[in-house]
């Protein structure tokens, strides 16, 4: 029991308690705000951060990614524990294997004068880090209203002397409402030259109709030899069960938090007919989640950040497709 205090002492004690309480609340609010600003604000930013972690671990060769969100990146890479927080289960494996697959496919296809169209580009760095044949042009397409992704990206590239390249064209698009053929025509794409189209980390935010329309429009403006590189997510991702799944739950939470919920997937048994029968394109290569896991586990250094789960919970299938 507190000894009885005189009025002035009680007054002082009350003041101290009140000051400490106010200080605590203010400190908690500042901490919350600081944490909020350090959390990725979009899926594009989340992917950029994940790729930064992989580059920092020596698993991706990407010297450009460090120019995006350098403070956040430093924060999340500061300790192994912090890395685990920012990289959900199977996340590193997922980002690594899809980047390796697409890089390999792009570099083995490209010839002088070809074009690369990066759809839903986010913080993709290929136009700035890849050693491509002479005359190759890049088009980076993304949502115009997406919280400043293209603007921030261009600003950081310019600031760091990287965006001197005249071979990159930025174009706004919404695949749900606009045709890629119209947008690219306005941006100077040449349908007589072959194109490699990349849809990395995008189809799961679209609809079956918009994916079908986009692929049809790509075919219409593709010269012979053109490719589409794209993943399909297992339709299991869209079920209620996925939200409680150890591997998929964290992704659900993140994409919902940033306002980009998943909306499209295909059952694995129907993926081949989706491409060949429904969309009329030829499958050149298909890498299953299990093949990606094996590749990941065979990679020196990867085991250090392995969490025992399949890339992105085993739902991501990678495809290389011949458009024409």
Task: Please report, as ranges, the residues that interact with ligand SAM according to CB under 6 A.
Answer: 43-44, 47, 120-124, 142-143, 146, 149, 173-176, 200-202, 205-206
Rounded distance between C-alpha atoms, residue 272 and residue 84, angstroms: 35
> Closest approach of Cβ 233 to ligand SAM, in Å?
11
Q: Which is nearer to ligand SAM, 47 or 242 (CB)?
A: 47
Q: How far is the CB of 125 from ligand SAM (least distance, A)?
A: 8
Residue closer to ligand SAM by CB (options 4, 177) is 177
How many angstroms separate the CA atoms of 62 and 233, rounded? 25
Residue-by-residue DSSP string for 185-222: HHHT--TTS-EEEEE-S-GGGS-HHHHHHHHHHHHHTP
Closer Cβ to ligand SAM, 43 or 226, answer by number: 43
Q: Min. distance of Cβ 139 from ligand SAM in angstroms?
A: 13
**Cβ pair 257, 196 in contact under 8 A:** no
* Shortest CB 51 distance to ligand SAM, Å: 7
Give 199's strand partners. 119, 230
Query: Do 47 and 201 touch, CB atoms closer than 8 A?
Result: yes
For 103, the enclosing helix (H) or strand (E) is helix 91-109
Q: How far from 1 is each of 4, 5, 187, CA to CA, in Å?
A: 9, 12, 78
Is residue 200 within 8 Å of residue 102, measured between CB atoms?
yes
Beta bridge partners of 116: 138, 196
The SS3 assignment for 139 reads: strand
Q: Which is nearer to ligand SAM, 18 or 187 (CB)?
A: 187
Which residue's CB is nearer to ligand SAM, number 144 or number 303? 144
Give the residue with the Cβ less far from ligand SAM, 103 or 306.
103
Beta carbon of residue 254, minimum distance to ligand SAM (angstroms, whole number): 10
Nearer Cβ to ligand SAM (47/86):
47
Q: Which is closer to ligand SAM, CB of 89 or CB of 122?
A: 122
The minimum distance between CB 41 and ligand SAM, in angstroms, equals 12
Those residues whose C-beta lies under 8 Å from the C-beta of residue 266, and which sit 6 or more positions away, are: 232, 233, 234, 235, 274
- Residues with Cβ within 8 Å of 136's Cβ and at least 6 positions away in sequence, in order, are 110, 112, 113, 114, 115, 116, 167
Find how far residue 38's CA is from the centre of its chain. Answer: 17
Structure tokens at 147: 């919280």
Nearer residue to ligand SAM within complex by CB, 73 or 121: 121
Residue 298 C-beta: closest distance to ligand SAM, Å = 23
Structure tokens belonging to residue 72: 């956040």
1 CB neighbour count, 10 Å cutoff: 3
Nearest approach in angstroms of CB 155 to ligand SAM is 16
Minimum distance from residue 152 beta carbon to ligand SAM (Å): 12
């Amino acid at each position: 029991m507190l000894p009885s205090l005189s009025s002035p002492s009680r007054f002082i004690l009350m003041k101290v308690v009140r000051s400490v309480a106010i200080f605590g609340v203010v400190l908690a609010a500042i901490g919350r705000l600081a944490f909020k600003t350090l959390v990725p604000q979009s899926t594009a930013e989340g992917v950029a951060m994940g790729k930064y972690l992989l580059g920092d671990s020596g698993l991706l060769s990407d010297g450009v990614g460090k120019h995006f969100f350098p403070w956040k990146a430093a924060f999340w890479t500061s300790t192994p524990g912090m890395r685990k927080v920012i990289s959900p289960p199977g996340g590193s494996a997922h980002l690594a294997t899809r980047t390796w697959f697409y890089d390999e496919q792009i570099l083995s296809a490209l010839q002088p004068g070809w074009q690369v169209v990066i759809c839903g580009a986010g913080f993709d760095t290929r136009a700035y880090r890849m050693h491509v044949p002479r005359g190759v042009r890049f088009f980076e397409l993304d949502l115009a209203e997406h919280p400043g992704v293209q603007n921030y990206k261009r600003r950081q590239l310019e600031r760091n002397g990287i965006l001197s390249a005249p071979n990159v064209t930025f174009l706004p698009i919404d695949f749900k409402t606009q045709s890629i053929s119209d947008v690219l025509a306005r941006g100077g794409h040449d349908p007589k030259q072959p194109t490699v189209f990349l849809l990395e980390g995008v189809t799961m935010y679209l609809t079956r109709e918009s994916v079908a329309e986009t692929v049809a429009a790509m075919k219409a403006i593709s010269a012979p030899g053109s490719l589409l590189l794209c993943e399909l997510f297992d339709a299991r991702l869209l079920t209620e069960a996925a939200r409680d799944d150890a591997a998929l739950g964290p992704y659900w939470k993140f994409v919902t938090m940033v306002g980009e919920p998943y909306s499209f997937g295909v059952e694995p048994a129907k993926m081949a007919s989706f491409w060949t029968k429904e969309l009329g394109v030829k499958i050149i290569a298909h890498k299953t989640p299990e093949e990606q896991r094996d590749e990941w586990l065979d990679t020196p250094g990867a085991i250090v950040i392995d969490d025992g789960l399949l890339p992105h919970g085993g739902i991501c299938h990678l495809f290389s497709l011949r458009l024409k």
